[in-house]
Amino acid sequence: MVNVAEIPVQRPASPQWLNIAPAFKTCMSKAERNKETELEKRQGERSKRKEDRHHDYPSAGIKHAGSLIEQGYRVEEGQDRRRTALNKAVHHYGYAETVEKVNALSVMNKNHKENHRRLLDDLEYLKSQFKDK
């Protein structure tokens, strides 16, 4: 007679014991693998850009959104208040970044003639006061 306790019991493999990912990659077509590697490259480039803020290529966007407002700059204000706020912004963020911000505002306000004119005037002021410094 056979003892039931001596018979080995085979249990189905659980998902944690199986390594499905390598088998899945071998079943992928060449186009899918290329797409995946391109995606990994793009993600790597993005992470490099995030790590290195002082890169040589053009900026990926305006940094510190609303920072001119924090310095007291409003297009609707008078010339003296705008220039005081621009002086603070140049002192805090630097000439290049402040010009980039004002230029972006001028592009966004190109259809509003009065604001566009004021922003261009502020750009000229920044260039005349801070460009050579």
pLDDT digits over 71-93, tens only? 999 999 999 999 999 999 999 98
Query: What integer is the mean pLDDT of 120-130?
Result: 95
How many Å apart are CA 31 and CA 35, to the nearest integer? 6
Tokens of 125: 């002021």
pLDDT digits over 41-75, tens only? 777 777 766 665 554 545 556 677 788 999 999 99
Q: Do residues 85 and 73 touch, judged by C-beta distance below 8 A?
A: yes
Tokens of 58: 């053009």
Mean pLDDT of the residues in the chain: 79
Q: Do residues 71 and 91 touch, judged by C-beta distance below 8 A?
A: no
Q: Record the pTM.
A: 0.54
pLDDT digits over 102-113, tens only? 999 999 999 999
The number of helix segments (H) and strand segments (E) in the chain equals 6, 0
Domain range annotation of the chain: 67-130
Query: What integer is the mean pLDDT of 116-127?
Result: 96
**Three-state secondary structure call for residue 52:** coil
